[in-house]
Amino acid sequence: DGGITQSPKYLFRKEGQNVTLSCEQNLNHDAMYWYRQDPGQGLRLIYYSQIVNDFQKGDIAEGYSVSREKKESFPLTVTSAQKNPTAFYLCASGGAVGETQYFGPGTRLLVL
Amino acid sequence: GESVGLHLPTLSVQEGDNSIINCAYSNSASDYFIWYKQESGKGPQFIIDIRSNMDKRQGQRVTVLLNKTVKHLSLQIAATQPGDSAVYFCAENPLAGGTSYGKLTFGQGTILTVHP
């Protein structure tokens, strides 16, 4: 069963805590992306990776970090430096940068 | 059509009608466009795409039209069904290079509501 999985579906963060969102794909895609979605708004790019061991900042990278140690995995860490982390986080993958991107089901992050 | 701000455009139609959702894009260098459907609490789902060397592309019950002269994209849904109710996003990508190369830029979306 091919696709993109994200976990957990809901995540609660305490103030000052770092949390990590998981994203896995078995589509053999080189490129992977992380977006943030706020209510009533479009998707904003946090980070993207074109290939293993390489990634670039998107438009709103401050307060976030990523790693790309395996082709299948692109975890996102929301650090304590991100002062407004409550949002719906979406991971996507694509065959090549600029091509169609396919999305996972999302993780909703809430602050306690 | 889509606009900047917190209030998404809305479109309400009756079941069986045809729906037209519009999108104005900003970058004349954009070479590739995608329409996505997003249901509440879920990730966006790919519907159809089109490249700038085309002005029309058809899928199953959906048609995308591209007017590069006025930088306008539309999604037509034939015989709209209650299951089509969702937020619809357009996305653009400038494949020609530059600092925005490789990134999709998303519109804010249009809410489609289909009444039985």
Amino acid residing at B70: V
Q: What local confidence, expressed as pLDDT, does residue B2 receive?
A: 41
Tell whether A16 lies on the interface with B, counting CB pairs under 8 A: no
CB A107 within 8 A of CB A8: yes
Residue numbers of B between 25 and 54 with CB closer than 8 Å to A:
32, 34, 36, 41-46, 49
Long-range contacts of B63-68 (CB under 8 A, 24+ apart): B64/B33, B64/B35, B66/B33, B68/B28
Of the pLDDT bands very low, low, confident and very high (cuts 50, 70, 90), residue A2 is low
User: Using the beta-carbon criterion (under 8 Å), do B106 and A43 form an inter-chain contact?
Assistant: yes
Residues B5-19 have pLDDT tens digits of: 456 899 999 999 999
Tell whether B98 lies on the interface with A, counting CB pairs under 8 A: no
Closest partner CB to A100 (pick from B46, B89, B109):
B46
Residues A40-96 have pLDDT tens digits of: 778 999 999 988 999 999 999 999 999 999 999 999 999 999 989 999 999 999 866
Does the N-terminal peptide bond of residue A8 adopt cis geometry, omega within 30 degrees of 0?
yes
Among residues A85, A82, A104, the alpha carbon closest in space to that of A94 is found at A104
Tell whether A105 lies on the interface with B, counting CB pairs under 8 A: yes
Residues B20-71 have pLDDT tens digits of: 999 999 888 888 899 999 999 999 999 999 999 999 999 999 999 999 999 9
- Chain B interface disruption, residue of A7, A24, A43, most B CBs within 10 A: A43
Question: Mind telling me how many Å the CA of A3 is from chain B's nearest CA?
Answer: 12
Of the pLDDT bands very low, low, confident and very high (cuts 50, 70, 90), residue B4 is very low
Chain B residues with CB-CB distance to A31 below 8 A: 102
List C-alpha distances in Å: B16 to A46, B11, B61, B84. 39, 14, 12, 11
Euclidean distance between CA atoms A37 and A77, whole angstroms: 16
The residue written with tokens 């589509």 in the block is A27
B24: β partners: B72
Residues B65-88 have pLDDT tens digits of: 999 999 999 999 999 999 999 999
CB A38 within 8 A of CB A82: no
First to last CA, chain A: 35
Chain A residues with CB-CB distance to B7 below 8 A: 40
Residue of A nearest to B8 (CA): A40
List C-alpha distances in Å: B36 to A8, A59, A79, B49, B88. 23, 21, 30, 9, 6
Question: Mind telling me how many Å the CA of B33 is from chain A's nearest CA?
Answer: 9
